[in-house]
Amino acid sequence: MHILELPSFFPPYGGLFCIDQSVALQRQGNTVRVAANVNLSARLSPVTYLFAHTKPYMLEMRGIEVMRKELRGIPFSLKKCSWHWVKTTQELVDKYVEKYGKPDIIHAHCCKWAGYVAMKCSEKYHVPYVITEHLPYMILAEEFGKEGADAWQLPYLKEAYKKASMVIPVSEELVDDIACFIGKDYKWKFISNTIDIDFFAYRKRDSWKGRPFVLCCVADFVVRKGYDVMLATIKNFVSRYGIEVKIVIAGNNTDSKGMKELVEKYGLTACTELCGKVDKYGVRDVLYRSDCFFFATRSEVQPLVVLEAMSTGMPVVTTEAVPRSERINGGCFVGGIDKVEELRDLLYHVYNIEDFDGVSVSKAIADLASPEKVGKQLTGLFKELCEEFKGAE
């Protein structure tokens, strides 16, 4: 199959899950390319913004051909900026089709706005499109408002959802999570994102008895990641059970003044290592030298680092914000959101596990989120949808 991947956002602003799924699909024998229109921010990337590559150019990312162009975002004008992105992304797809021919299917990542562009291109070129949705309520609410009923974007996004051959949420819970904005008048099927199970391979840990219990977390320092609850819980855990701990924290702004002050507030400075932003090698290093991943998050769609942690054979203590698909039996221990005592007792339970079966947990993650598994699921679904689309014409 010839598959065109269409991301809503792309490096330097995240979006690498598009490349991850492209690699997984390519390994199944498909021809996969990405058309990426990157909406640059003058505030976040002033130099890149000034020297933007406004004409399409080709590059390769992990063996995937990417047709990329850069767009200077229009400051303080969300609506104009959005429609400008939609228009220029359609033009980028036209350039792609001119060079490579029509794809068999367009695979958009996030409805806002790649899903909408995919709908327009589907109508123009008579090919089906699907939308993999990654964005949760809390992120959409920042733009639409908590109710969202009057947000100007919503009619366009609802139309794109309804006309898609399939919407693919990365967790089942996401459908209900964003229903207040999008409704449920569309076809959907859950398929996990993919992680690199070879890179985050199983590693046996030594027993933590007789030495500090090493707890880690890898997440950006923002309110919804629950670092305040995490540190309060660890403080309570140490006070209640008298267990010595070491804490390793990594992620954007985790070495900031605010984080340092939060750690100091709970009296944990002496036993806490703040790594700041790290690359994937840094993430793996944190996981490999830790005993338990502790994630007191308040809102998630599908936190891949939880899967990566379990892939290395590590137990995870987290909250009900994590989707059911990640709650691997014997590997993921779930407490209430903002429930310090519940989470404390889960940490104590994990601490007292005699022989944690990390091998079985790692295998369960491979069966959920390996490139081979996800690639086969997506390829099978895309072939089926293409046949249905042809039959309906």
pLDDT (0 to 100) of residue 148: 66
Residue 164 CA, chain-centre distance (Å), reads 21
Give dist(CA 315, CA 346) in Å, integer.
11
pLDDT (0 to 100) of residue 43: 77
The 10s digit of each residue's pLDDT in 156-195 is 999 999 999 999 999 999 999 999 999 999 999 999 999 9
Contact (CB, 8 A) for 245 and 215: yes
The residue that leads in pLDDT, 321 or 301, is 321
pLDDT (0 to 100) of residue 147: 66
Give dist(CA 253, CA 274) in Å, integer.
9
pLDDT (0 to 100) of residue 199: 97
pLDDT category at 36 given cuts 50, 70, 90 is very high
2-194+370-392 matches 213-369 in fold: yes
51 pLDDT more than 90: no
In eight-state DSSP terms, residue 52 is -
The 10s digit of each residue's pLDDT in 234-275 is 999 999 999 999 999 999 999 999 999 999 999 999 999 999
The 10s digit of each residue's pLDDT in 185-233 is 999 999 999 999 999 999 999 899 889 999 999 999 999 999 999 999 9
> Among residues 162, 153, 152, which one has the least CA distance to residue 183?
162
Helix (H, G, I), strand (E, B) or coil at 203: coil
pLDDT (0 to 100) of residue 54: 84
pLDDT average, residue stretch 25-45: 92
Start-to-end CA distance of the chain, whole Å, equals 19
pLDDT average, residue stretch 370-389: 97
pLDDT (0 to 100) of residue 137: 86
> Among residues 303, 342, 124, which one has the least CA distance to residue 222?
303
pLDDT (0 to 100) of residue 391: 81
pLDDT average, residue stretch 140-152: 81
Give dist(CA 5, CA 114) in Å, integer.
10
Alpha carbon distances (Å) from 274 to 27, 45, 55, 148, 220: 37, 25, 41, 37, 12
Which CATH fold topology does 213-369 show?
A: Rossmann fold (3.40.50)
pLDDT average, residue stretch 352-357: 92
The CA-based diameter of the chain, rounded to the nearest angstrom, is 69
Delimit the domains of the chain by residue range. Answer: 2-194+370-392, 213-369
Residue with tokens 């390996």: 370
Which CATH fold topology does 2-194+370-392 show?
A: Rossmann fold (3.40.50)
pTM for this predicted structure = 0.89
